[in-house]
Structure formats: C-alpha cells, structure tokens
C-alpha cells in the first residue's frame, strides 16, 4: 500500500478539488480491485468496507461541518447542491433548470429558451445540455450511453488482463474516464460542486484532450500486449528467485 503515499500527497497539494477527487477515487478503486483479487492477506469484506467507509465518513463529517458551522464559498456550493431553495439563486442552475423544464424527449426547446442558454453557458462546457436543448433527451441519453459503454468495455478488458501491472494501469485509466464523464453529466444536469469540467471523447480542452490521448495510448498498448508476462510467469520468476536466494 506504500505506493499510494506519494501520489496521495500530490493529490492533497493539487489546488483543484475536482482533480484531487478524481485522483483519490481512482486510487480507492484500484486498491479495492487489488483486495478483491486477493493480493493482500486480509478479510476482503472488512477491508473493502474500511477502504470506502473511512473516506465516506470523513467526507460526510467535513461536509456537515462546512454546511452548518461555516458561511464561506464552500458552504454556499454545498447548500446549492443539497438544497433546492439555495440553488435557485445561482444563475447557472436557473438556466439549467429552465432548459430541463422545457426540454422534450425528441425536439428542440422554444427559441427563447435556447437563446438564453446560448447567452449564459458555453456550448463545450455544457455540451450535453445543448444536446438536450437542440435534439431532446433521447439524443443525450444515446451519446452518454455510448461513452459509458466504451469506458465500461475498457474497464472489463483491464480487469481481465493477466498481467498485474497492466491490469492496474488499465483500470486506473478506465476509472479516470468514468469519473470525468459522470462528473460532466452531473454538471450538465445541475448537480455539481466543481464546475462543468471536461468530458473525454466529447469536448475539447488543452490539457484534457492531451491527457485523453495519452491514456488512450496506454489502454491500446495494454490491450495489444495482454499476454506479455502473465501472472503464472510472475509466480515462476518469484519461485526461481526464492530458490536462487536459498541456494546462496
């Protein structure tokens, strides 16, 4: 578990809470899969409960303290997310609420609503919302379903990898994609604490698109060389090393 210490230190020094949460969730997911695979000699149920329960209790406690005992910007954002009356004072939420109220299963919202959306929010920051406003809920569901299906497929391929390092790296890439897509969808629907963010394979952004290409390259490399140095060979190498050490 010591390999997590340095990256977690970097996570807590990141000025963006959005990036910090993505990195922390990716670490928790990778560690959970390692425990589930039986790589640690621990009780799986208790270990998984601790891995997710402790951060959940900690975050809930911090959130409760911020909401009820502080009056700063963070408290305002949490109240906007959790309480409808507080969020109605936010112009971004008002725009999203107006679009969602007037949206159709298939078809465009009234022209006045679409003009208000164009004036208030950027298309690339709220692409799904624009899709809902222009074509309807069905189009947005189809696009979001394709993205989630692609990422889930990546995750399944990663978990099935026989190479341990490849499995962990591939799973980490898939989890990052999944979290970014879910956060982006939540932001477009009005449930967000971190702004609109970036959506892989759908929107553009300087750093975001570069990282997407890099992670896709890693995923393709892992899928292409899935049978290189499988786990049974690792066990043989470890056994050979132990025999050589005993001989010495």
pLDDT tens digits, 57-114: 888 887 788 778 777 766 776 666 666 554 556 677 788 888 888 888 888 888 888 8
Say if CB 115 and CB 123 are below 8 A apart: no
Query: ∠ at Cα 81 (50, 180), nearest 5°?
Result: 65
Say if CB 8 and CB 28 are below 8 A apart: no
Say if CB 128 and CB 188 are below 8 A apart: yes
Q: At what angle do helices 127-134 and 164-188 cross, to 10 degrees?
A: 50
Average pLDDT, the chain: 77
Say if CB 117 and CB 133 are below 8 A apart: yes
What does the alpha-carbon distance between residue 1 and residue 58 come to, in Å, rounded to a whole number? 20
What does the alpha-carbon distance between residue 217 and residue 235 come to, in Å, rounded to a whole number? 28
Q: Tell me which of 231 and 48 has the higher pLDDT.
A: 48
Within 14-121, residue ranges assigned H as helices are: 17-36, 44-69, 73-82, 84-87, 91-102, 111-120
Q: What is the average pLDDT across 155-179?
A: 83
Q: 200 to each of 82, 106, 185, 222, how far by Cα in Å? A: 27, 25, 11, 19
Q: How confident is the model at residue 146 (pLDDT cuts 50, 70, 90)?
A: very high
What does the alpha-carbon distance between residue 69 and residue 235 come to, in Å, rounded to a whole number? 54
Q: How confident is the model at residue 43 (pLDDT cuts 50, 70, 90)?
A: confident
Using alpha carbons, select from 157, 122, 155, 127 the residue that is nearest to residue 139: 127
What does the alpha-carbon distance between residue 30 and residue 218 come to, in Å, rounded to a whole number? 16
CB neighbour list of residue 222: distance below 8 Å, 6 or more residues apart:
158, 161, 163, 166, 169, 170
What pLDDT does 228 receive? Answer: 47
pTM, 2 dp: 0.74
Of 190-194, 213-217, 225-229, 230-234, highest mean pLDDT: 213-217
The pLDDT of residue 233 is above 50: no
What pLDDT does 148 receive? Answer: 92
The pLDDT of residue 145 is above 90: yes
What does the alpha-carbon distance between residue 87 and residue 232 come to, in Å, rounded to a whole number? 55
């Amino acid at each position: 578990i010591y390999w997590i210490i340095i990256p977690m230190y970097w996570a807590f020094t990141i000025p963006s809470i959005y990036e910090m949460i993505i990195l922390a969730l990716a670490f928790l997911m990778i560690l959970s899969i390692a425990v589930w695979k039986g790589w640690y000699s621990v009780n799986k149920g208790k270990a998984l409960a601790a891995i997710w329960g402790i951060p959940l209790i900690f975050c809930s406690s911090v959130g409760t303290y911020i909401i009820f005992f502080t009056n700063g910007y963070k408290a305002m954002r949490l109240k906007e997310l959790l309480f409808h009356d507080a969020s109605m004072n936010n112009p971004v939420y008002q725009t999203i609420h107006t679009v969602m109220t007037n949206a159709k299963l298939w078809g465009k919202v009234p022209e006045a609503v679409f003009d208000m959306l164009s004036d208030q929010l950027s298309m690339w920051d709220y692409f799904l919302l624009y899709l809902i406003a222009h074509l309807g809920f069905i189009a947005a569901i189809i696009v979001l379903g394709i993205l989630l299906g692609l990422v889930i497929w990546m995750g399944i391929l990663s978990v099935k990898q026989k190479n341990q390092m490849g499995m962990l790296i591939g799973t980490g890439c898939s989890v990052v994609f999944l979290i970014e897509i879910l956060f982006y969808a939540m932001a477009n629907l009005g449930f967000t604490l971190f702004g609109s963010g970036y959506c892989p394979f759908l929107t553009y952004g300087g750093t975001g698109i570069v990282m997407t290409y890099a992670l896709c390259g890693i995923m393709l490399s892992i899928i292409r060389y899935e049978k290189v140095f499988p786990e049974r060979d690792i066990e043989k190498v470890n056994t050979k090393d132990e025999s050589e050490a005993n001989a010495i």
